[in-house]
């Protein structure tokens, strides 16, 4: 039992160190992927903002054109209103002149009618002034004067009629012009309303674009801030990885230094040298013992969940589940020689069970941090309660 506890105690630190470096490298990889994702999102936002800016500028130009058109129509409408007011004043003056002329005409007609009636009643009295003439010359003058007065009244009536007709024609012309200007004003009003509606639509659209742009600018600022924090996190992870690598290298050098005297003491048993079976049929050594300070041999299987076999006859010493590293099976072959198999699924052997060389002990793929087609294979030597990992290649 003491030897079992010591074995587990010595196994856990080595696994923890490897897992720490791999976890840091995995975190760095995930951070790099997140950085690329953020960069892609940032570029997409910048392109969207550029598109929104272009749309806003184009819409602002159309809005400015609409504003100018509205201003022009409002100016023309005011001009039309002034022209219509002036024409209406002219129409009012002409109508006043027509009314005055018609009044004079009616007065003149009434006077002429009264004159005719008077002459009809007093036909003889009309010629009385002629009969009172002192001479023939005086008679002729009086007769011509009476005729002139009658003719003058007739001419005045005709002149008034002509004036009324002329004024009526002017009034009709002015009324027609007023109607034309009113129609033009109505058309301008309709155009102005349409432009005002379009202006309102442009303003609403521009406001919506500005709101979208502000929201995306806020999102872009958040992304840039997150990107800055992510860059700091990447730098921190890289520093931690470098520190971990330096620590692992120091540990490796320390193990190598401590292994030198051990190598003289712990020699591979001659009975087993060259007799260990390669634990994965068809596999290959992907990373040799000692690479980057690792104290195990990384064996690449031909496929995931490949079978793993005992390297030699022995007795199952430990079966232990490491979570992210899967199941571990440790087999004791001699008093001081052990083999360890990491990243197994549920083991097919139990503690204390005797196994033979080549016997199936489990299948790969039990760990989350180790690929399902990789075996971590260790060979350990023990003396006086101290375990040391050695190169498995010495025993094939």
Same fold: 21-265 with 270-395: no
Average pLDDT of the residues of the chain: 79
Selected residue with higher pLDDT from 288 and 67:
288
The Cα–Cα gap between 391 and 255 comes to 13
**pLDDT tens digits, one per residue of 168-195:** 888 888 888 888 888 888 887 888 888 8
Query: What does the pLDDT look like over 297-337, one tens digit per residue?
Result: 999 999 999 999 999 999 999 998 887 889 999 999 998 89
Question: What kind of fold does domain 21-265 have according to CATH?
Answer: Helix Hairpins (1.10.287)
- 266 Cβ partners below 8 Å, 6+ apart? 336, 381, 383, 388, 390
User: How confident is the model over 339-369, as pLDDT tens digits?
Assistant: 999 999 999 999 999 999 999 999 999 998 8
Residue 39 CB partners (closer than 8 Å, separation 6+): 227
| Domain locations along the chain | 21-265, 270-395
Q: For residues 250 and 254, what is the distance between their CA atoms, to the nearest angstrom?
A: 6
The pLDDT tens digits for 79-112 are 878 888 887 887 788 778 778 877 876 776 676 6
**May I ask the CATH architecture of the domain 270-395?**
Distorted Sandwich (2.70)
Q: With a threshold of 0.75, does the pTM exceed it? A: no
Give the C-alpha separation, 174 to 329, whole Å. 115
- The pLDDT tens digits for 231-270 are 787 788 778 877 877 787 787 777 666 554 444 444 555 5
% of the chain with per-residue pLDDT over 70: 77
Instruction: Work out the percent of the chain whose per-residue pLDDT is above 90.
Output: 24
For residue 396, give the nearest of 305, 246, 285 by alpha carbon.
285
pLDDT of residue 268: 52
């Amino acid at each position: 039992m003491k030897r079992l506890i010591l074995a587990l105690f010595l196994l856990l630190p080595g696994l923890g160190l490897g897992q720490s470096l791999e976890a840091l490298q995995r975190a760095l990889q995930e951070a790099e992927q997140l950085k690329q994702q953020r960069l892609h999102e940032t570029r997409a936002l910048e392109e969207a903002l550029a598109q929104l800016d272009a749309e806003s500028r184009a819409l602002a130009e159309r809005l400015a054109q609409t504003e100018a058109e509205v201003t022009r129509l409002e100016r023309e409408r005011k001009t039309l209103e002034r022209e219509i007011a002036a024409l209406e004043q002219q129409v009012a003056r002409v109508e006043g002149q027509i009314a005055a002329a018609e009044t004079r005409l009616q007065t003149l007609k009434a006077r002429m009618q009264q004159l005719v009636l008077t002459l009809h009643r007093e036909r003889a009295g009309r010629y009385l002034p002629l009969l009172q003439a002192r001479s023939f010359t005086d008679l002729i003058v009086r007769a011509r004067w009476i005729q002139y007065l009658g003719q003058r009244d007739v001419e005045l009536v005709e002149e008034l009629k002509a004036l009324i007709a002329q004024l009526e024609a002017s009034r009709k012309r002015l009324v027609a012009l007023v109607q034309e200007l009113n129609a033009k004003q109505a058309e301008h009003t309709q155009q102005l309303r349409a432009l005002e509606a379009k202006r309102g639509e442009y303003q609403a659209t521009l406001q919506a674009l500005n709101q979208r742009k502000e929201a995306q600018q806020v999102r872009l600022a958040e992304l840039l801030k997150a990107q800055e924090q992510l860059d700091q996190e990447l730098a921190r992870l890289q520093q931690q990885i470098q520190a971990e690598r330096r620590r692992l290298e120091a540990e490796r050098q320390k193990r190598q230094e401590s292994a030198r005297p051990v190598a003289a003491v712990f020699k591979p048993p001659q009975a087993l040298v060259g007799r260990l079976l390669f634990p994965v049929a068809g596999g290959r050594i992907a990373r040799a013992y000692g690479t980057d300070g690792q104290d195990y041999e990384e064996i690449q299987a031909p496929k995931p969940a490949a079978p793993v076999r005992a390297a030699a006859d022995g007795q199952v010493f430990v079966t232990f589940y490491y979570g992210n590293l899967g199941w571990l099976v440790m087999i004791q072959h001699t008093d001081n020689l052990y083999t360890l198999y990491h990243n197994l699924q549920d083991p097919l052997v139990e503690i204390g069970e005797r196994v033979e060389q080549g016997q199936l002990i489990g299948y790969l793929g039990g760990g989350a941090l180790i690929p399902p087609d990789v075996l971590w294979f260790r060979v350990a030597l023990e003396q006086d309660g101290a375990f040391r990992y050695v190169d498995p290649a010495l025993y094939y």
